[in-house]
Amino acid sequence: MQKKDLFEKAYSESGEVSFSKSLIQFLSSDVSGRFLSEISSFSCLEIGVGQKSLLDSPKLDFLNKKVSSYLGVDFSSVAIERLRKQSNLSFQVVDFCEFKSEDRFNLIIDAHCMHTIADHDLKIKFLQNVFDHLEPEGFFFLESMILPNLPTDLIEYRYEGDGKYYYKDDKDDRVVLSLFKARELEDILLSIGFQIFYLSCPIGLKFVAEPFRDYPLEGDPDVMRVILRKM
């Protein structure tokens, strides 16, 4: 099944409307606030918005007040239709790898989208497209799953030969992820031309992608938080 169809299926089957707590935590943290206070007004692009925009979180009121224009994009039409019913913000159904706009944004947020793309070249295309749609001096906030730094025999998930591919299992209806190592993602971001203003892989912070557990396992993906700028 195509990745897009998997998301459509998941959204159709679940009425649950949420946004990521960890992204809210990242965007409302002291370090983010320090960078965001440098700009008085934001044209904002949220990629992979899902069923709820981050700007709907009361914890991000400080940011919301500065947003002069907003566009949320997602390739799931089910998610975007739901959003349009409950919000006056602007949304577009589009695969971000193919997204083209004359508009440039001074705040782009990857709302846990990039790391769901399995194909390596498409991930690069995605990140290059972020760079191309960023205003000079604009910010890109990226929170991404990365491969946990563990010996393979401790990892509960299976990796393909070169250590790059990460599968929960090989069933057809599972999302297959291809995760970067932290250093690999850092090098890609630099090679695209981003300047890294902040980069952190908080020890112990894990992505728990399974709905039936809320506790992390050693083999769960680590988290990388990055604040990038196009200078």
Residues 6+ apart with CB under 8 A from 109: 23, 27, 44, 45, 46, 47, 54, 140, 141
Site for ligand SAM in 42-71 (CB under 6 A): 48-50
What does the per-residue mask of binding to ligand SAM show for 170-209, with x meaning CB under 6 A?
----------------------------------------
221 binds ligand SAM (CB under 6 A): no
**Separation between Cα atoms, residue 75 and residue 149, nearest integer Å:** 31
Smallest gap from residue 145 Cβ to ligand SAM (A) = 10
Residue 52 or 230 with smaller CB distance to ligand SAM:
52
113 binds ligand SAM (CB under 6 A): yes
Structure tokens at 8: 């459509």
DSSP code, position 66: T
CA distances from 61 to 10, 20, 29, 66 (A): 29, 16, 13, 9
**Separation between Cα atoms, residue 8 and residue 32, nearest integer Å:** 32
- How many positions of this chain bind ligand SAM (CB under 6 A)? 21
Query: Among 73-81, 156-164, 196-204, 216-224, which window interacts with ligand SAM (CB under 6 A)?
Result: 73-81
Residues that bind ligand SAM (CB under 6 A): 7, 18-20, 23, 48-50, 73-76, 79, 95-97, 111-113, 116-117
